[in-house]
Homo-oligomer: A and B are copies of this chain.
Amino acid sequence: MNITFFLYEGCTGLDVVGPSEVLGRMPNVELNYAAQWKGEVQTDTLAMKLFATHSIEEIQSTDILIVPGSTVSFLEILQNKKVLSWIKGLHGAAQYMCSVSSGSIILAAAGLLEGKKATSHWYSQRFLADYGVKIVRERYVKDGKLITSAGSSSGLDMALYLASILVGEESAKAIQLMLEYEPEPPFESGNLAKATKEVMIAAKKKLKEDAWRSGILTLI
């Protein structure tokens, strides 16, 4: 089985690496990392870089595509016809087309989410509406071969769910145990409904600053 992650300048590292750790532990799987250019890819987190093993031209089909979100660099990707047409082209033969966080907006821009149920990071859900998406507030949601998930950390949950579809629940549980994925966040503040107003304002302010630096603010 072949799994491709789409990397782009400013994508969020956790959206890529979380699902990689889960899906890469399935048997007989190959992970590819495809970007517009092979080599280093700057993430949206300071000096952190990922690495593209392939250019998108080199990946003409894949069993599964995973599209990460970004806090900074949608605009270039959402207007990039080459990238959007590459994603659309993979859809027909793929078993699943997935996204983490605001990556669902990229799937939507490629024309894959019209009329579908989908989700996104809480801050970016509003942009999905422009693409005729039925927005749901779930940790992850499957509609046909499209699987979308919420903010960054949800990629782990979605990938475990996907692994259970692909290789069965027992194998997915073994992967969960290998990653010792029994989360114990020290606070209960990972969800809009639970965060205080002050925390929400602070989070929005930081997200807006990041977006401002990159030009994405024109979208917000």
* A139 in contact with B184 (CB, 8 Å): yes
Write the nearest CB–CB distance from A178 to chain B, whole angstroms: 5
B172 pairs with A187, CB closer than 8 A: yes
- B177 engages A182 (CB within 8 Å): no
A 95-153 contacts with B by CB, 8 A: 101, 121-122, 139, 150-153
* Given contact pairs A17-B14, A179-B14, A183-B185, A202 touches B170 in the complex (Cβ within 8 A): yes
Q: A154-B180, A157-B183 are in contact. List 18 more A-B contacts (CB 8 A).
A: A17-B18, A24-B45, A24-B46, A30-B47, A48-B51, A71-B178, A122-B180, A151-B180, A156-B183, A160-B185, A164-B187, A169-B187, A170-B202, A173-B196, A174-B189, A174-B206, A181-B185, A183-B185
Residues of A near any B CB (own CB < 8 A): 12-14, 16-18, 20-21, 24-25, 29-33, 40, 45-51, 53, 71, 101, 121-122, 139, 150-154, 156-157, 160-161, 164, 169-192, 194-196, 198-200, 202-203, 206-207
